[in-house]
Amino acid sequence: MLEPQGTAKDSGLTGSLAQWALPSPSASPVGPLATAFLLSLFLHPASLLTQEHRDFPAVEPIPSLKMKFDPRRMTLTWDCQENATYVECVMFHKEKGPIAIMLTDKKCRCKFPDSSLHGGVTLMVTANISQRLISEKLVYPNPGEEGTAAQNFSCFIYNAYFMNCTWAKGQAAPDDVQYFLYIRDSRRKIERECPRYIDDLKIHVGCHLKDLSGLTFHNYFLVNGTSQRTGIQFFDSILSLKAIERYSPPHNVTVHCNESHCLIRWEKPRTLQSLTGWEFQYQLDIQRQSTMQHSGNQLIEVSGDAENKYNFPSPEPRGKHAVRVRTSDSRIQHWSAWSRPVEFGSEETEASLVHVYVLVVLGTLACALLLGCLLKRVIGKYKLFPPIPRIKDKLTDNHQSDQQMIWEKFPPSAGRGDNEEVLTVEELTEAPTSP
């Protein structure tokens, strides 16, 4: 028989075996059978599972959130779980870095701001399920062969109503590739395809739009492609209309002059979006139309305001001038083309001034020549006619000794000396003849 040797304090397998004593085989003929039965009882698999279940409770597996991403709406959704609270969802962007959105309700979705996706993104949701904080990730790649997407993509708006977009064929794209452009406003209400493509060897490499209605401040541009040979990657970008607009030149440029100044006025250009005058910056190029002075004057910077004017100092008489104006955004310098030149001043005044300059120059030259000739004559006369020594005056010898010269010491003049000829005249007296 089995007799307890103490009170069981532990329901585990090890404690149970230590609390029972086995009878001696000599005490009873059924001792070995009882021992075998006891061991089989405690080593039964069901008994082991029961003991393990009571010591280590099983953990329920966490079901997958089954995340889904809609790139058109930039929305991430997942399956809602019971007794689950969601903390945040994060988009890991290669250029912008992590973009986190904190969740304050039990809605099983989050919406990200518009971002380019051609570099691929990783999405992650952090949730609290069964008092455990877990995170699940979803990778959204750019399918297709590397290097097949459109490259060198750019757009610009001109004349306030037109827009051109251009791109180039990918380096690894096959010859049968074809690209398509789609534009979506930031409110995601209007999505349009390019109405007029620009082709190069039958491949779309540009787009021209003449209807920009419906576009917002920021817009999403997508260029995807198709091919029968391989998958084509897409290219997308977020562009601001203000950043890509090229302004037209200012119009209605006028000039009004008085005795001392000329007032230059102009009107701000037409733009796609309504802008205040202070958002513009202007440059004025004032040139004097003269053969004596060419262009290349320093440009004059003028900040935009409500009046758009500049007072140019130009006293009378003034020659003929020309002014032209161009504009740019005060924060993003993309200068427009120059306006048409507007002339002011008088050609007659310019001509008269030229005549005065010519007369002054000619008069100066004439005076210089006259003085040169006079000086040359004086110097030449001195060389040709040196001073003749005077006869020594005995009466005033004591008073004018410094002014007399000894004849022998007087130097011979140039061109004379040994070659000087002396003419001697002899007087012949004839004897009178007798009658």
Same domain, 312 and 322: yes
On whether residue 237 sits in a domain, the answer given is yes
Structure tokens belonging to residue 188: 């995601």
Same domain, 75 and 44: no
Same domain, 341 and 270: yes
pLDDT for 392: 58
Q: What mean pLDDT is predicted for residues 223-239?
A: 96
Same domain, 87 and 114: yes
pLDDT for 1: 39
Same domain, 28 and 72: no
Same domain, 237 and 251: no
Half-sphere exposure of 217 (CA within 13 A, CB side): 2
Q: What mean pLDDT is predicted for residues 351-378?
A: 75
Q: How confident is the model at residue 239 (pLDDT cuts 50, 70, 90)?
A: very high
Same domain, 37 and 72: no
Residue carrying the six token digits 């000086």 = 375
DSSP string, 204-254: EEEEEES--TT--SEEEEEEEEE-SSS-B--EEEEEEHHHHEEPPPPEEEE
Q: How confident is the model at residue 221 (pLDDT cuts 50, 70, 90)?
A: very high
Q: What is the CATH number of the domain that holds 102?
A: 2.60.40
On whether residue 60 sits in a domain, the answer given is no
d(CA 35, CA 24): 10
pLDDT for 360: 81
Residue 300 bridge partners (DSSP): 284
pLDDT for 85: 85
Structure tokens belonging to residue 138: 């979803």
Same domain, 210 and 240: yes
On whether residue 423 sits in a domain, the answer given is no
Residue 255: enclosing H or E segment and its boundaries? strand 251-257
On whether residue 365 sits in a domain, the answer given is no
φ/ψ of residue 377, rounded to 5: -65, -40
Burial of 218 (0-12, 13-18, 19+ CB in 10 A): middle
Torsion of CA 26, 29, 35, 38, to 10 degrees: -140
Same domain, 159 and 216: yes
On whether residue 382 sits in a domain, the answer given is no
Residue ending a domain, among 323, 350, 377, is: 350
Same domain, 272 and 318: yes
pTM exceeding the 0.95 threshold for the entire prediction? no
Residue carrying the six token digits 């419906």 = 214
CA distances from 285 to 23, 181, 246, 288, 301 (A): 120, 40, 20, 10, 9
- Number of domains the chain is built from: 4
Same domain, 164 and 207: yes
Q: Of the candidates 212, 222, 300, 307, which has an alpha carbon nearest to the alpha carbon of residue 266?
A: 307
- Give percent above pLDDT 90 in the chain: 41
Q: What share of the chain is helix, strand, coil (3-state, %, to 5)?
A: 20, 35, 50
Q: What is the CATH number of the domain that holds 204?
A: 2.60.40.10
Q: What mean pLDDT is predicted for residues 18-22?
A: 36
pLDDT for 371: 83
Residue ending a domain, among 113, 140, 167, is: 140
Mean of per-residue pLDDT scores for the chain: 77
Q: Are 84 and 128 in contact (CB under 8 A)?
A: yes
Structural domain span for residue 179: 151-245
Q: What mean pLDDT is predicted for residues 143-154?
A: 95
On whether residue 372 sits in a domain, the answer given is no
On whether residue 208 sits in a domain, the answer given is yes
On whether residue 179 sits in a domain, the answer given is yes
- pLDDT of 19 > 60? The answer is no
Residue ending a domain, among 108, 140, 172, is: 140
Same domain, 222 and 270: no
Residue carrying the six token digits 């006259």 = 370
pLDDT in tens, 36-63: 444 444 444 444 443 444 444 555 566 6
Upstream peptide bond of 195 is cis (omega within 30 degrees of 0):
no
| 370 or 390, which is more confident | 370
Spatial neighbors of 415 by CB under 8 A, at least 6 apart, are none
